[in-house]
Structure 1
Amino acid sequence: MFDMHTHFIPEDVLLWIKDHKRLVNAEWVKREEKSVAFLTVNNKWGFELKESFIDSSLYLQEQEKAGVLHSLISPIPQLFLYDFPEEITKELSSVYNLSLAKWVKNHNKKLSSLATIPLNNPSQAAKELRSAMELGLKGAIIGPSLENLMLTNNCFSSFWEEANYQKAIIFIHPLLCEDSRLKNRMMPNLIGIPWETTICATDLLLSGFLDKYPHVRILLAHGGGFLPYQIGRLNKGYNKWANVSKSLQGLPSEYLCRFWFDTVLWSDDSLNYLIKTVGEEKVVPGSDFPFDLSSWPPVFYNEKAVYSLLNNER
């Protein structure tokens, strides 16, 4: 069993945050006497700092206990730091990527990793992606947008050109949605996160992006959000409106199958629909471990899908 969606924070990264806690407004807060501390960066993006996030030995023990033979590690979205000056984002990205590269090199049969990059400076993001892949990482995890700039904006061209050249895995993973209508009942997490993926992936699909950068391996978190379920609506729009179809060479449903999707859905019916819609060779096992809403261990395994995603030979 493989796990293509899991997160970890190396010790060097945690030390960097502690050393720069004023710079990035980091706080460790315990909500109850015996509880694990919550880490909050820049007065938002708080999450429970479980031992599985930061203890490499424990992580590997949990991996073995769950029967996972190999994990693709991702940095956590809460530490993208896109809302900070680019030199801060770049510094943490370098620390994070070097730390992960050292860890996976020592456990290369059990671990692979993605990088984090300073997306707030796309040309620097391209350089960091190149450096990370030279260290042996497989690509990068990124957010779905940047200050209301969609990923198809021309300002990101240098990054996508490098990702295309490297045949990199680019894992699109949203942060909590900041829509003011979703303040209550955990809705920023429950529906805001898959909604952000839906917006980003739909924009990528309809823009002609997948034809422009055909060698980028784009993995969509949480089963692709709501996009697979509404692909029929996109097909209908393609047949009705020229401004939907003008950048495409075929139906949106044909492009949907050019993404990869993880299995973090918590519903057999939803997963079966996804597999039927895009093909099992495009659905890779994922868990989102060790976040609260993890599907641990992954519930589906397809060897062909895993190896097609991981193979980045040029």
Structure 2
Amino acid sequence: MSTGGLASSAERAPYDVHTHFIPEAAMEWLRAERRVGTQWEQRTPDKAPFLTVNGRWAFELKPEFVEAGLYLAAQRAAGVAHSLVSPVPQLFLYESEPEVTAEGARVYNDALAAWVREHPQALSALATVPLNRPEWAAAELERAMGRGLLGAIIGPGCGERLLGDEAFRPLLEAADAHKAILFIHPLLNMDPRIQRRRMPNLIGVPWETTVCAVDLMLSGTLDRYPRIRWLLAHGGGYLPYQMGRLEQGWQVWPGVRSEMSMRPSDYLRRFYYDNVLWDQRVARLLLEVAGAERVLPGSDFPFDLCAWPPAAAQADATAFLGLAHRPFRTQE
């Protein structure tokens, strides 16, 4: 059955590995940067303005996205002691010129790093990187991690290239060297057949995650970069549900397993997953096939489709976030 609305206090998680925020410095850069096609539109009087980026990535800019005090107040009210904050995927800017993407990433990452330094007990953060120029993405990842960020949130690829493509080798080498978190968070699917009834989000987003994860397995990328901590959004998309088909293909077709050192089901336990799933039956399947130690609490706050507050999980979020070295206490 569905988990429904708010979880009971006993089920709430003190950690959240999947949240989003836009610091004021990033908003100021967006307002001033004419090379990015940003538009603000008040669609209905009962909602916040919608922000459209480069003519296609529209979302409601809720106050919790941009007002630090409201974000932290919501965190406290939900009983979340520590959140991993990620840039908003709509602001990846992969479709912009690389110089624009890189400049926006620097502004965004520096602002998040400063916010984390102000609230080390409550916040960790991930960077955004210019995936449209992988060598620049590698440099920005290293720069951002030098400022205290834990890795990066990235899309499943850029343009027609998936992350297993040789072009992304500079970024993956840097991430592996620094044991970075790479959080795979897709944008809306652009398949023209599903551009209606919210299907780009409802089914397109988990599909993009599935495509990326399977490519990382089949291409041998997980073997080549074993120290990257891969985190898959939204419970890994459709990957856990279709593991039987992947296993059968691995057995039947030598070309499927040519770059793999283990079975697909073994690779399933090389990823981490958030538990943004809403349905206890699906959550149990993920726990069974991936292992409870790989499933972390997450919410996708403050988007409309957020599982708020995050459901509790058994995995050691403290270790995943590297909180052991910080002065830390759980909120009452």
Question: Would you call these one fold, judging by a TM-score over 0.5?
Answer: yes
170-179 or 248-257: which moved more?
248-257
Matched, 1:13 2:29: no
Q: Which residue in the other structure is 1:110 paired with? A: 122
Q: Is the 8 A contact 2:295 2:315 kept in 1?
A: no
Cα displacement string for residues 212-269 of structure 1 (whole angstroms, at most 9, x for unaligned residues): 0000000000000000110111110111000011111221000110000000111111
Alpha-carbon distance in 1 for matches of 2:319, 2:218: 24
Q: CA deviation at 1:310?
A: 2.2
Q: Please state whether the residue corresponding to 2:270 is helix, strand or coil.
A: coil
Q: Which residue in the other structure is 2:4 paired with? A: none
Q: Is the 8 A contact 1:260 1:309 kept in 2?
A: no
Q: Is the 8 A contact 1:161 1:213 kept in 2?
A: yes
Q: Which residue in the other structure is 2:320 paired with? A: 309
Cα displacement string for residues 34-83 of structure 1 (whole angstroms, at most 9, x for unaligned residues): 43100001111100000000000110000000000000000000000000
How does the TM-score come out when normalised to structure 1?
Answer: 0.97
Q: Is the 8 A contact 1:168 1:312 kept in 2?
A: no
One-letter amino acid of the counterpart of residue 321, structure 2: L
**Judging changes above 3 Å, is the alpha-carbon distance between structure 1 residues 204 and 312 closer, same or farther for their aligned structure 2 residues?**
farther
Q: Which residue in the other structure is 2:226 paired with? A: 214
Q: CA deviation at 1:312?
A: 10
How does the TM-score come out when normalised to structure 2?
Answer: 0.92
Alpha-carbon distance in 2 for matches of 1:133, 1:312: 15
One-letter amino acid of the counterpart of residue 108, structure 2: Y
When the two structures are aligned, how many residues end up with a matched partner? 311
Matched, 1:4 2:17: yes
Alpha-carbon distance in 2 for matches of 1:117, 1:108: 22
One-letter amino acid of the counterpart of residue 25, structure 2: D
One-letter amino acid of the counterpart of residue 290, structure 2: V
Q: Which residue in the other structure is 2:82 paired with? A: 70
In structure 2, the gaps of 5 or more residues are: 1-13, 325-332
Q: Is the 8 A contact 1:266 1:295 kept in 2?
A: yes
Q: Which residue in the other structure is 1:82 paired with? A: 94
Cα displacement string for residues 123-179 of structure 1 (whole angstroms, at most 9, x for unaligned residues): 110000000000000000000011110111111101100000000000000000000
One-letter amino acid of the counterpart of residue 57, structure 1: G
One-letter amino acid of the counterpart of residue 200, structure 1: C
CA-based RMSD of the aligned residues comes to 1.2
Q: CA deviation at 1:303?
A: 4.6
Q: Is the 8 A contact 1:173 1:221 kept in 2?
A: yes
Per chain length, whose mean CA-contact separation is higher, i.e. which structure has more relative contact order (CA < 8 Å, sep 6+)?
A: 2
One-letter amino acid of the counterpart of residue 160, structure 1: L
One-letter amino acid of the counterpart of residue 284, structure 1: L
Matched, 1:132 2:138: no
Q: Which residue in the other structure is 2:39 paired with? A: 27
Q: How does 1:1-314 map to 2 (within 5 A)?
A: 1-20=14-33, 22-304=34-316, 306-311=317-322
Alpha-carbon distance in 2 for matches of 1:185, 1:32: 18
Q: Is the 8 A contact 2:124 2:321 kept in 1?
A: no
Identity %: 51
Q: Is the 8 A contact 1:264 1:295 kept in 2?
A: yes
**Judging changes above 3 Å, is the alpha-carbon distance between structure 1 residues 2 and 312 closer, same or farther for their aligned structure 2 residues?**
closer
In structure 1, the gaps of 5 or more residues are: none
Q: CA deviation at 1:23?
A: 1.7
Alpha-carbon distance in 2 for matches of 1:124, 1:109: 31
Alpha-carbon distance in 2 for matches of 1:240, 1:23: 50
Q: Is the 8 A contact 1:142 1:171 kept in 2?
A: yes
Q: Please state whether the residue corresponding to 1:281 is helix, strand or coil.
A: helix
Q: CA deviation at 1:308?
A: 4.0
Q: Please state whether the residue corresponding to 1:261 is helix, strand or coil.
A: strand
One-letter amino acid of the counterpart of residue 102, structure 2: K
Q: Please state whether the residue corresponding to 1:116 is helix, strand or coil.
A: coil
